[in-house]
Amino acid sequence: MKLSFTKMHGCGNSYLYFNCFEQSVPNPEALSIRLSDLHFGVGSDGIILISPSDRADAQMRIFNADGSEGKMCGNGIRCVGKYLYDNGMVGNRTTVTVDTLSGVKTLELTVQDGKMQTARVDMGAAVLLPQKIPVLYEGNSAVDVPIVVDERVYHMTCVSMGNPHCVLFLKEDIDDLDLARLGPKFEHHTLFPERINTEFVNVLPDGSLKMRVWERGSGETWACGTGACAVGVAAVLNGHADKNSCITVHLRGGDLTVQYTDETVFMTGTATTVFKGEIEI
């Protein structure tokens, strides 16, 4: 059996996209593990299935490199918008809806020469209630609260953007961190019953934010859209940025712009098609 796919990335956060309007993908959990491997597969952060939806233009299902299913992916959803537009699946409409496990998200596309260049995504309201993130912390929010890892006390701000995030603002240069050692210790910390995505952040002199991310199920990735949104929200809650302002977040794979309002969080960024391929399973 042969399956066609398109490799795409948003700020270096790469997935293999399967058009399930035209084909069926069996056992996506095992397929994601196999194809994500850099040496024995294609190499990616996971796979995303683009399927019909009865309440949106398409549905996206996300499978991480370890085969676990994710609820939401900010970089992935921009790529889904690009795939739908560039392949004529939504006509000439520049407003596109995508069904996710975190609800239906709306994308506003910027188009040039018949191809989508950027997308502004309404990511929905940030969830701050610890029980709903989830994080085992008493109170109405977990903002700048201590967490002990490797006998060091960090201060975390926890936010859900459809998936759980732990944001850490650090003084030391995050480029010097050993995330391969540190990331798993946060991911599997006992405070996080469903594991956690962890963002390590520097506030730069110009007010922009530099971040690295350790994603549950995938390890360090070059970008995380929901993570950038969580960082923007946490920056406002900790006094590093203003609500309603455009916050620039520098990720290893590129920049995203985040805007945190009373109603929702907006994320704007690019999406890129790398190549199309075919795999026999």
pLDDT along the chain (281 residues), means of 10: 97 97 98 96 97 98 96 96 98 98 97 97 97 97 98 98 97 98 98 98 98 96 96 98 98 97 98 97 88
Decide if 42 contacts 8 (C-beta within 8 A): no
Q: Which residues of 169-195 are buried (b: 16+ CB within 10 A; e: fewer)?
A: beeeebeebebeebbeebbebebbeeb
The Cα-based distances of 154 to 20, 31, 117, 210 in angstroms read: 43, 37, 38, 18
Of the candidates 79, 166, 224, 229, the residue annotated as catalytic is 224
**Is 158 among the catalytic positions?**
no
Q: Which residues of 243-277 are buried (b: 16+ CB within 10 A; e: fewer)?
A: eeeebbbbbbbbebbbbbeeeebbbbbbbbbeeee
Rounded to two decimals, the pTM is 0.93
Decide if 216 contacts 227 (C-beta within 8 A): no
pLDDT of residue 47: 98
Domain ranges of the chain: 2-122+269-280, 130-263
Sign, CA torsion 60/21/31/41: negative
Decide if 13 contacts 45 (C-beta within 8 A): yes
Assigned fold of 2-122+269-280: Diaminopimelate Epimerase; Chain A, domain 1 (3.10.310)
Domains 2-122+269-280 and 130-263 share a fold: yes
pLDDT of residue 236: 98
**Is 246 among the catalytic positions?**
no
Assigned fold of 130-263: Diaminopimelate Epimerase; Chain A, domain 1 (3.10.310)
Of the candidates 20, 73, 79, 229, the residue annotated as catalytic is 73
Tokens linked to 149: 């890892």
Decide if 273 contacts 86 (C-beta within 8 A): yes
